[in-house]
Amino acid sequence: MSTDTSATAPVAHAPSLGIRDVAELSGLSQDTLRWYEKEGLLPTVPRRPDGRRAYSERDVAMVVMLAKLRDSDMPTEDMREFARLVAGGAATHGRRLDLLQRHRRRIEERQAALNDALRALDDKAAHYRHLISEQLDCDGDPVSAEIAVQQRKGMPA
């Protein structure tokens, strides 16, 4: 599936999906899908004669892409810009690529910060495992037998 989409109606005879189906496919709630449309993150989804939304394959691909962008904490304004660029067609490929690469750099920076935090957490956990195994307090002094028992409480088996 391509992530390009447009505001046009689904291609004639192309199967369309309702909002419930798209919510299940994307992992987004129906309310979120409506909000995406209202906020201009999705082009206006065509309607069936009964007034229900009729998502095309392209619409679904765009929803799935937007869900991934949101999961990666892309700011809503950047998501809106991405959607606007997609609606602009092939002439916007370079600008879309630039927007995605900038967001990728933000993700890499966040990932590095999270990795640093994870290392600090692991180091602290290893420190506590050592203190417990050696029956020591935080200053390196031995603890009483009663404290040693309490130290081990809550430790994973």
Residue in 3, 12, 13, 1 with CA at minimum distance from that of residue 41? 3
Residue in 127, 147, 148, 154 with CA at minimum distance from that of residue 138? 127
pLDDT band at 156 (very low <50, low <70, confident <90, very high): confident
User: Do the beta carbons of residue 124 and residue 105 sit within 8 Å?
Assistant: no
pLDDT band at 51 (very low <50, low <70, confident <90, very high): very high
Rounded to two decimals, the pTM is 0.75
- Rounded mean pLDDT of the chain? 90
**Does 5 score more than 90 pLDDT?**
no
Query: Can you give the pLDDT at residue 154?
Result: 79
Tens of pLDDT, residues 99-137: 999 999 999 999 999 999 999 999 999 999 999 999 999
99 forms bridges with which residues in the sheet?
A: none
Tens of pLDDT, residues 62-73: 999 999 999 999
